[in-house]
Amino acid sequence: MPVFSVKNADDNIIMQENCNIIANDTMSEKERLEHVGVRPTAMRLLIYRMLRKSSHPMSLLDMETELETVERSTISRTLSIFLDHDIVHAIDDGSGSVKYEACRSAHHHSINDLHVHFHCTLCDKTFCLPIPVPEIELPQGFKTQHLNYVITGTCDKCTQKT
């Protein structure tokens, strides 16, 4: 299984782990929230379940549309809690609208969640690609805090339409 990492210039490996994205997670939504210390209210379970089942990262507007009866402020507060507890990560795909995705690791946010995303400039959808983020060697003194790897272009469906 391939391994990827992010290194500082002095060759200290900051993060390294096998790059398999865990798809067969047996932990339920309720168990996952409880495991990371989030009280599993009905709204939180609804929002988390939607993110876990989504085939692509979702914007706040996508979630509002999907959950017609849930207020934007409730979704926004819930996403903040999820981000604080590292069970959801935010993706800035360059579209001006942050997308959110449930972390796929078994316990909480990890290097397994660092994979390449593709943003289609025609349909405005962002897709997760089963490609690990490539190894980056940073110059001396630089420290990684966040990594966001997004490719922009045209998705397969939009390419077929043109």
Residue spans of the domains in the chain: they are 3-161
Asked if 1 and 18 touch (Cβ cutoff 8 Å), the reply is yes
Asked if 84 and 126 touch (Cβ cutoff 8 Å), the reply is no
What is the average per-residue pLDDT within 155-160? 92
Q: Which H helix or E strand runs over 76?
A: helix 72-84
Asked if 103 and 87 touch (Cβ cutoff 8 Å), the reply is yes
Q: Residue 74: is its pLDDT beyond 50?
A: yes
Query: Mean pLDDT, the chain, as a whole number?
Result: 78
Compare 38 and 2 and report the one with higher pLDDT. Answer: 38
Q: Residue 81: is its pLDDT beyond 70?
A: yes
Q: Which residues contact 63 (CB under 8 A, 6 or more apart)?
A: 47, 50, 70, 75, 100
Whole-prediction pTM value?
0.66
Q: Looking at domain 3-161, which CATH architecture does it have?
A: Orthogonal Bundle (1.10)
Q: What is the largest CA-CA distance in the chain?
A: 52
Q: Residue 159: is its pLDDT beyond 90?
A: yes
Distance, CA of 100 to CA of 104 (rounded, Å) = 12
Distance, CA of 20 to CA of 2 (rounded, Å) = 8
Q: Residue 88: is its pLDDT beyond 50?
A: yes
Compare 24 and 135 and report the one with higher pLDDT. Answer: 135
| Proportion of the chain in helix, strand, coil states, percent, rounded to 5 | 30, 25, 45
The per-residue pLDDT for range 99-141, each reduced to its tens digit, is 998 886 654 444 545 778 898 999 988 887 888 888 778 899 9
